[in-house]
Structure 1
Amino acid sequence: MGAVKTRSVPAVERALRLLEVLAESKRGYTLSELARVLRLPRSSTHCLLLTLERQGYLHRHEETGRYMFGAKLLNLANMALSRIELRERAAPYLHALMRRTGLTVHMAILDRGEAVLVEKVEPPGLVRLATWIGKRMDIHCTGVGKALLAYLPEGEVERLIRERGLPRHNENTIVSPKRLREELRRIRERGYSLDDEEDELGLRCLGAPIFDHMGRVVASVSVAGTIAQITGENMAELAEAVKETAAAISRQLGFAPEGEKEEA
C-alpha cells in the first residue's frame, strides 16, 4: 500500500498565489483586479488581503486602493538574502579557522532572543559535537550567544533578560542578571566570550562578534571543543584566532574599526 500523500492547505496555497501575482505587478492590484486574476470570489480575496495586511505583509494605498508588498515581507526577503551573503563571505574564513585550531567552528545569528546556528564546520576525527545548522541556543550561556549579547544596545539586553530569563543548565550557568552584565562588560573589554561548561558540562566555547558596515553586531563565530581540547594553556591562542576570524569576516561585510576609519 502506497504512502498517503499529505494534503496541502488550500487557503495557504491561495495566499501564496496572491503574493506571487503581486510580485509580478509594478503598481499593485485592487481587490477587484486580484479577485479576477485569481479567479476567486471577491469575499474570499478580501479575507486573504485583510489577513496579510493585518500581519504587515501587505500595504493598501489609501487613495488608489491598490495592494502592494508591506515592510514585513520586504524585511523577510532582505534577511534571507543577507544570511546567504553572510554564509558565502564567511565560508573560507570559517574553514581556515577549523584548520588552524582543529576544533568545531560555529557561526550564529540572533533570532527572537536566541542564537541560531547558520553554519558549522567540523574537523576530521572522532569527536563530534551535538550541534547542527538551525539549532537554537540560549544567549546567556553559550559562546556564540554571549558574543552577540555583549554588543547589543543596553536596552535590548535588559529586554531579553526580562523576557527570556536566565535558565540554569548546570551549576556553572550564569543565572544572575548582575553577574551577566559584568560578564558582558568583560567580553567587550577583551573582545571575545567564553562558555566555560556553562551550557553543557565537559565542553568549552570561545566566541567573537561579527559586525556589518554600520557597526552593528550581525553574527558571531566560535570554536567549540571538550575541556581537554580547550584548556588554560591554549585558550589565549584560540581566542586570538577566533577574534582574527571575526574581524576578517566583519571587514568582508564592510566594517571598519575606528582606528582604520581615521587612517582612511
Structure 2
Amino acid sequence: MADSQKNGSAKVRRARGRPRDWHDKTAQNTIKSLDRAMAVLEYLSQSQGLPLTRIAADMKLSPATVYRILVTLEGRGLVECDSDDQVWNIGPGAFAIGARFLRRTSLVDRARPIMRRLMETTGETANLGVEKEGSVLFLSQVETHAAIRAFFPPGTLSPLHASGIGKALLAEMDDIWIKSFLSSGPLEKYSDKTITQADELLRELQNIRERGYSFDNEERNVGMRCVAASVYGTNGEAVAGISVSGPTSRISASSIESLSSAVIDAAHNLTLAIGGIRSQGREPAVETRTGTDN
C-alpha cells in the first residue's frame, strides 16, 4: 500500500526545470571550468582573429588552459582556427545557437516587414534592439541602399546612454532601475557629445518621455545620428526599441520631426503586431499595415 501511494504521488509530481535553490549563484552551484570556457568564448566574440598567446595574456590564463578550452569549443563548432594565420574566430556553431535564440520569440519575425517599410519610407537603415544586462543588444537590421550607412549586425552591443534605442529604453525604466544603472559606474565618453553626467542624462530621459522618441546626436559615433522609439509588450512595458540611423549629411536637424513620426509609427505597429499595449508617448500620426515580409 505504501509503495502504491509512493508511486502514485510520483506520477503526479511535476517535472521541474530548475531546482529549489536556483536563486543561489554562489560558487557551489557553478562549474568553474565551464564558466572559464564561456568567458573565453565571450571574449573571442568581441575580439575575433586573435592568436592563442594574445587570448591567454588578455584573460590572464595559461596558454595551455586556453588551448584546451579552444580545442573543446572547436569540437562543437563554436570556434575555429585559421590554419594559415594561426588565429581563432567564432565558429558557425555559435551563430546557430544565436539564431535559435532569435527564433524563441516572434519579435524579430514580426519586426522585419515593419523595419523594411521604415527603411523604404525614410531612406535610412532600420534597427531593432533590446536591453541586455545594461547594454543594447541589436537583434536585426534592414540596411538602406545608400552608399553611406550605419551598420549594427545582429549581436552587436551598444551602451544604453549613448544610443538612440538605449536612451529610448532607459526612459521607460523605473526609478530604481535607473538609479542602479547610474550607480554601476561612470558614463563612458565616446565623443564630445556623449552625455556623461547623471543629471544631464536624467533631463534627457524626461524629454524623451514627453516627446515620445529619443535622438542620438553623434553621441556614440561622430558623423552618425539616430532616432528611436520604444516597442511595448503585453504588460505595457518596453520590450524593445526600433530606430533609423544614418550620417549627419542626411539626418539633419530639420528632418528629425518627419523621421520621428515614421519611427513612432513603426514602433506602434510592432507593438500591435506582438500583441503589446502602448503605455505612454505620442500617438502615431498614421496607422499602417503590419503585413508580412516578402
> What is the TM-score of this pair, normalised by structure 1?
0.67
Which residue of structure 2 lines up, in the alignment, with residue 113 of structure 1? 134
2:29 maps to which residue?
54
Q: Deviations over 1:156-213 (max 9, x none)?
A: 0111111143101111110110000000000000000000011111110000000001
SS in 1 for 2:222: coil
C-alpha distance in 2, partners of 1:90/1:248? 9
Please give the per-residue CA displacement for 1:103-144, whole angstroms capped at 9, x wherever unaligned: 011110000100010001001131132421111000001101
Q: Counterpart amino acid of 1:220? A: G
Q: SS of 2:245's equivalent?
A: strand
The two structures, once aligned, show a CA RMSD in angstroms of 2.5
- 8 A contact 2:106–2:274 mirrored in 1: no
CA 1:81–1:200 in 2, change beyond 3 Å: closer, same or farther?
closer
Paired letter, 1:168: K
Greater alpha carbon shift after TM alignment, 125-134 vs 80-89: 80-89
Q: Which amino acid aligns with 1:54?
A: N
In 2: Cα distance, 1:157 partner to 1:242 partner = 24
Are 1:108 and 1:116, in contact at CA under 8 Å, matched by a contact in 2?
yes
1:89 is aligned to 110
Match of 2:153?
Answer: 132
Unaligned stretches of 5+ in structure 1?
1-25, 29-50, 56-78, 260-264
Distance 1:254 1:184, change over 3 A: same
Indicate if the aligned counterparts of 1:113 and 1:164 stay in contact, CA closer than 8 A: no
Contact 2:118 2:263 in 1 (8 A): yes
From 238, 243, 259, the equivalent of 1:222 is: 243
> TM-score w.r.t. structure 2 length?
0.60
Mapped partners of 2:132, 2:126: distance in 1: 19
Preserved contact between residue 206 and residue 222 of structure 1 (Cα < 8 Å): yes
Give the aligned partner of residue 67 of structure 1.
none
Aligned to 2:201: 180
Pair 1:208-2:183 in alignment: no
Distance across 2 between alignment mates of 1:97 and 1:139: 22
Alpha-carbon distance between aligned partners in 2 of 1:107 and 1:192, rounded to the nearest angstrom: 14
Change (3 A) 1:214 1:53: farther
Query: Offset of 1:81 from its aligned partner?
Result: 6.7
Q: Does structure 1 retain, via aligned residues, the 8 Å contact 2:227–2:243? A: yes
One-letter code aligned to 2:255:
N
Identity of aligned residues (%): 30
Q: C-alpha deviations, 1:22-49, integer Å up to 9, x for none?
A: xxxx747xxxxxxxxxxxxxxxxxxxxx
| CA distance 1:142–1:135, shift in 2 (3 Å) | same
Distance 2:272 2:192 in 1: 38
What number of residue pairs does the alignment pair up? 191
CA shift in 2, pair 1:219/1:173, >3 Å: same
Q: Residue type matched to 1:204 in 2?
A: R
